[in-house]
Chain A
Amino acid sequence: MSTTGTGPRHLVRRQYFWGIVAIVLLLLVNVLKDPGFLALSVNPANGNLVGNLVDILRAAAPILMIAVGMSLVVATGGIDLSVGSLMVVAGAVSMEFLKASGDASSGGVALGALGLALAVTALLGALNGILVSVVGLQPFISTLVMMLAGRGLAKVITSGQNTAASNEPFRWLANGFVLGFPVVVLLAAAVVVAVAVVVRRSALGLMIEAVGINRKASRMAGIRPRGLLLTVYGISGVLAGIAGVFATASVMTVDVSRTGYQLELDAILAVVIGGTSLAGGKFSIGGSVVGALLIATLDKTIVFLGVSSSATPAFKAAVIIVLCLLQAERVRSLFRQRRAAGSPVSKEGVAA
């Protein structure tokens, strides 16, 4: 492997960097297929920005949401397998609410649907958090239960039917434009920036990482892991709810068996591509953003090239496995170097 022999700082940068390189390469492939791929134009009728790059950004919005939530959860040493199912729950709740209200133009109803969907997913996310922090269940078990029960819940909410509704303001969330820019992209960017600022400009991010590195030690240092875990899983739930609203509002239909299906794969992949170790203890919002953009670009490329998209999940899974191996290799070489240097931190390496 070429990863050995370079310093750890370079490696971290390189993995972050590799995601961007992959995006550029994918875009180049598309440009080779159609030189006009990157062209951006302004729709003369309404002044909206259109083009393939805009499409990619719009498709990336839901993935961005769950990837950011996942990176926080992963940093605590946990995992949230329920993001895809919480997306479908949010979709089901909002569609049923809009359908029941029957008002196709009221902005208040749209806000109500949005609020209700986010409240429900926040509650379910917090339930994950309670199971993890108070009950002490392993994260993957509690979120696995939520992943399967959540989809069951969505089916119960919609009576097992794919539910459609019409409401212009709600649709605008995913399909509208402000000053020529797609609303969904602006919203996603705003949410990501807000989370990044809150987490990195306060001690919250450090505390999350401390819990992920060593929960006991973090408690000794005066952090309350319980409340923190509860918050993190709650945030992940809300972000998954936003992603679900984005995903359903663009088509104004919730497909109970397909909406958000296996999107936890995309979220985990985005986190891993961003250079965050699944072992926990650190996170990079920027890395997860790069990861989410890469996944959206990959999906778009596959459609654009006309390759059968049925192979994508297997390919993504293979990439996750390879990146896990690389991370492990990295941990090992780090470990080896440190031991060679005779420093007494070898125990840390084992624990991590």
Chain B
Amino acid sequence: MTSTLVPGPTGPAARSGIARLAGTMARTWRANLAALPTLASLVIFAVMIVYGELTYGRIVQYNTLSNLLVNNAHLVIIAVGMTFVILTGGIDLSVGAVIAFSSVAGVMLANAGWNPWVVVVLMIGSGTAFGVGSGLLIQYANVQPFIATLAMMFLARGLASTLSTTPERLPEDSAIRSLATRFKIVDGERVDDLIVTPGVIIAILIVAAGFFVLHRTRTGRTVYAIGGSEQSAALMGLPVVRTKLWVYAISGTLAGLASVVYTARLGIAQNITGIGWELDAIAAVVIGGTLLTGGAGFVLGSVVGALVLGLMNVLITRDGGIRPEATTIITGGILLVFVLLQRVLTARGRGRSGESVPARPPESGLA
């Protein structure tokens, strides 16, 4: 509806369109305090870009920004999967290890002469298998999500180590590497080109699909409902069991896909690949404004969160004064700050609308 008003640049129609837009925005703002962290992450991203440009230079240019996307496509993909899981109030700690297993197995199969596209399908399928495994453990054995996915994490990492403990190299002419072909869209001066790879396109498609499923389908509604209150969702007759299984399957599948994208770009697979990526993915989701307790959040926010983390790595590399080993400490610190922010916001929201998050409101009064 509003789109018909926006193109009209003249007369009162445009003014009322703007006024209506402003009104909608104000209403959304008031109705949705949960969006504040997402906005905060956007602001942080912008501030980081401006700060980086002013301090180190060469940030706001085609190749830096397109490399940011190229190098973080896998993180964006797993962050989308993690968003689904966290929205239901669960967690998936296995993504990093699943990526390690899937990439080691994939590269070894490719080196053994298997058809590259069959290998790609198997890589994604192995991710799905781990995801379904976690889902079944959680749903049918009543294991807590973090225990089930932790067990899967150990299992996947252990299986990857069983396969190989040395770096496995993908041949230079392997068709899997074509997923990392760098297409120039804008040919800038010298190396300053706007580049896109099939991996980036896959990530964008996944984000779009994730957005569509979460905001435009019944499954998406159910995901939010489960996160709000699983019991209520079940009492409402929503397919809780099926949806939760789906959510972990999606997360596993996307981990498999991320492994394809990452392996294609790097060409090397190792059993220690992806250590700590589960934390990166969780941090991306939380920075992007999704509540760690589930029920509220945005998949687009997770993308911003992933890019914030990617940009942070770029700035740390440019700065040179911070050890790369300290990156995990900083990521953890950022995650904690955002979780604290969420606590403050949800505590305030709860003051008006009653208990909605399984937290401990009365205890905050006790010192």
Contact = CB atoms under 8 A, between A and B. Distances in A.
A141 B339 contact: yes
Interface stretch (B120-128, B205-213, B324-332): B324-332
A156 B165 contact: no
A4 B141 CA distance: 15
Interface residues of B, number: 44
Contact of A325 (B137, B152, B161, B343): B137
B332 A148 contact: yes
Nearest to A312: B158
Nearest to A328: B141
B180 to A, nearest CB: 27
Most buried by A among B155, B279, B292: B155
A108 B71 CA distance: 50
Interface stretch (A22-30, A131-139, A297-305): A131-139
Interface string B331-346: 1110110011001000
Nearest to B163: A310
B141 A153 contact: no
Most buried by B among A136, A225, A328: A136
B189 to A, nearest CB: 37
Given A140-B146, A160-B323, A313 B154 contact: yes
Interface string B1-30: 000000000000000000000000000000
Classify the interface of chain B: helix, strand, loop or mixed: helix
B144 A313 contact: no
Given A136-B360, A145-B336, A155-B323, A314 B141 contact: no
Nearest to A322: B151
Interface string B343-359: 10000000000000001
Interface in B118-167: 137, 141-144, 146-148, 150-152, 154-155, 157-159, 161-162, 165
Interface in B282-333: 282, 292, 323, 325-329, 331-333
Contacts of B275: 148
B172 interface: no
Contact of A144 (B143, B162, B165, B279): B279
Interface residues of A, number: 47
B226 interface: no
B195 interface: no
Contacts of A148: 275-276, 279, 328, 331-332
Contacts of B93: 140, 144
Given A310-B162, A325-B141, A79 B146 contact: yes
A316 B158 contact: yes
Contacts of B147: 79, 278, 324
A216 B360 contact: yes
B143 A328 contact: yes
A153 B330 CA distance: 11
A135 B340 contact: yes
14 contacts: A131-B336, A140-B146, A141-B335, A144-B279, A145-B279, A148-B331, A156-B326, A216-B360, A278-B144, A279-B144, A311-B158, A314-B159, A320-B154, A324-B137
Interface of B: 91, 93, 137, 141-144, 146-148, 150-152, 154-155, 157-159, 161-162, 165, 275-276, 278-279, 282, 292, 323, 325-329, 331-333, 335-336, 339-340, 343, 359-360, 363
Given A137-B336, A140-B150, 9 more contacts: A79-B147, A141-B292, A144-B282, A148-B279, A148-B328, A215-B360, A311-B161, A317-B151, A317-B152
